[in-house]
Amino acid sequence: MQSLINKQVVLGVSGGIAAYKSAELIRRLRDAGAEVRVVMTNAAREFITPLTLQALSGHPVHGDLLDPAAEAAMGHIELARWADLVLIAPATADLMARLAQGRGDDLLTTLVLATDAPIAIAPAMNQAMWRDAATQHNLTQLLERGVKVFGPGDGGQACGDVGPGRMLEPTDIAARASECFERGLLTGRHVLINAGPTREAIDPVRYISNHSSGKMGFALAEAAAEAGARVTLVAGPVNLPTPARVQRINVISAQDMLDACQAALPADIFIASAAVADYRPASAAEQKMKKDTASDDGLTLTLVRNPDILATLASHNQRPAFCVGFAAETHDVLSYAADKLQRKKLDLIVANDVSQSGIGFNSDDNAVTLIDRQLARSSLPQASKQKLARQIITRIAEQL
């Protein structure tokens, strides 16, 4: 279940006897690498305490539609943006009916309406309730809307009946949740990604660099691997773990990064997310440069242009079929991005405003605008870089 690593799962718990299994489900999701936040209905609190689920998830349990402790007292919007998957287990007959009707009368149902994350339910109810025509009609509506349904199982029930309606076991639900992220959009493709900053040496201890953390590029590598691609990640000096199923090549300077990217060709897709230093010192001192204590004249460095990695690969005789650039700007973001797209003959560019606090360099979140060859724009609102990466990979796959 590697595809759950670093995923953000909102677990909804509704009011059925199977709610006791939610505790074990949290453990299984976290064992698989997911971060879990729990939303409980009022009825669910009659079957299992919020304190239990808080202890297991490591986060406070949510239950109030308007939470004074949440940003702008709108916890449902925060959770909706945070979630990579909304998983409701158990999902009672009543909850299924409210979801089918598009109700938003508590935190959980409002969250479902507000999120653009995949939604999955694990039904749990008496066998007669499951067979009832109204429940089956609601099930059909939910399936038509793209809601994934895990189960139910068949067997003995708490009321003594035997038949369909048992919630699947937590291990099975966690495995099916993992499958929500196992997509074959890029199966058979080779994706080359560069990420992070470069360092341009002044002397053995000093260098020119920037604030890039590499988080966006690493998230893209993870999302591309999830989509079935063979991924080569050329990474500047960052302290980030290598995503599963990704080949990582560590480099330092812009020239190192260019050499590694060219050596990795041919590739089907090139995503240039690295923040490559535009300039480097004309020459690097072999020994540490000492301050001249007898002079206050300062230090003069002669800088020369670094190679343009994106432009080089976009015009290469082994040019990847689809080249994606990033434009991290502080003003006139979209106009600069569009100019870069056309000037470098790219297929797509991802523009983001790094002057905004909370997104961009060193942040866990980002907000971007995609611009394609026809200069059509598509905005992706603020979300985690992992979530945005999956959306970007999906857009790329759709344009191949």
Kindly list the catalytic residues.
159
Burial group, residue 366, by CB count within 10 angstroms (0-12, 13-18, 19+): buried
Residues forming beta bridges with residue 120, ordered by sequence position: 87, 148
CA angle 11, 15, 16 (to 5 degrees): 100
Residue 168, Cα to own-chain centre: how many angstroms? 27
Are 352 and 327 within 8 A, CB to CB?
A: yes
Residue 155 phi, psi dihedral angles, 5° rounding = 155, -165
Cβ atoms 84, 174 nearer than 8 A: no
Pairing of strands 200-201, 148-149: unpaired
Query: How many Cβ atoms from other residues are within 10 Å of residue 293's Cβ?
Result: 6
Contacts of 146 (CB under 8 A, 6+ apart): 118, 119
Among candidates 7, 399, 374, which has minimal Cα distance to 185?
A: 399
- Residue at 352: amino acid letter: N
Return phi, psi of residue 245, to 5°.
65, 25
Q: How far does the chain reach from its first CA to its final CA, in angstroms?
A: 28
* Sign of CA pseudo-dihedral 71, 77, 81, 87: positive
